[in-house]
Amino acid sequence: MEKLKCIIVEDEPLAADILKDYVSEVPFLELEGIYINALYALEAMQRTKIDVIFLDIHLPKLKGFDFIKTLKEKPKIIITTAYREYALEGYELNISDYLLKPIKFTRFLTAVNRLENKEEIAIQPQQNGFISDKDHLVIISNKSRVKIYLDEILYIESKKKYIQIFTSNLSYQTRMPLNEIEEKLNKLNFVRIHRSFIVAKQKVHSCSAVKVELEGHTVPIGRSYKEYVQQILR
């Protein structure tokens, strides 16, 4: 995939540094520069073709929305702001997304994947009763896009800001809370058995009051989940 050249237009150093770190985690983004006002960004765009702008609204000299209106050929624009009330005006200017500060990495990743009409975690469904490609997730792991087939997943473990997805032979880490991926999984096939674990029901070999076994892996059952797990996995 060809990289998308992007710039950050942000006058708050901390906010700019966070966006810079986020961009560095996405393999298909290439940061061309950070600018404290839109006039400097405009000069840069005259020198280099820019595909994506991460743009704050309240900027010195030229406000973000006024800057957008000056552009004849608009790149993809993702607004980054602490002000919710300007969202409607932003979308009237045909922006790609509107991110509210403080911006979480998962929300940032969702926005940039939409630039290519892809979701950061996408489950491919059946179409017309047939499956052209098996149901799968697409995640960012180790700065690469990775496809993981759902029927190969054993369990998923939460590790604070990250999750670890385990298959029979491999594991993959991506930055995302467990609750978010839980919402995207089919509850008929996956079950939460602990605040830190989700397991694939069809992969469970045995289940006791305190743990489940999956192809040589042992996963604990949380106290508050015991009764529910016994009902689901009996």
pLDDT, tens only, 167-210: 988 899 988 888 888 877 877 789 999 999 999 998 999 999 89
pTM: 0.52
User: CATH top-level class for 136-233?
Assistant: mainly beta
pLDDT at 1: 54
What is the homologous superfamily of the domain 4-114 according to CATH?
Response regulator (3.40.50.2300)
pLDDT digits (tens, 9 = 90+) for 210-226: 999 998 899 999 999 98
Rounded to an integer, what is the distance from CA 45 to the centroid of its chain? 27
For 80, the 3-state DSSP assignment is strand
Look at residue 115 and tell me whether its pLDDT is greater than 50: yes
pLDDT class of 41 with cuts at 50, 70, 90: very high
Strands 97-100 and 171-175: unpaired
**Quick check: 154 and 167 in contact, CB under 8 A?**
yes
Least Cα distance to 138 among 95, 169, 98, 181 occurs for 181
Look at residue 157 and tell me whether its pLDDT is greater than 60: yes
How far, CA to CA in Å, does 86 sit from each of 7, 8, 65, 79, 174? 21, 19, 10, 10, 32
pLDDT at 124: 45
Rounded-to-integer distance, Cα 18 and Cα 21, Å: 5
Going from N- to C-terminal start, the domains of the chain cover 4-114, 136-233
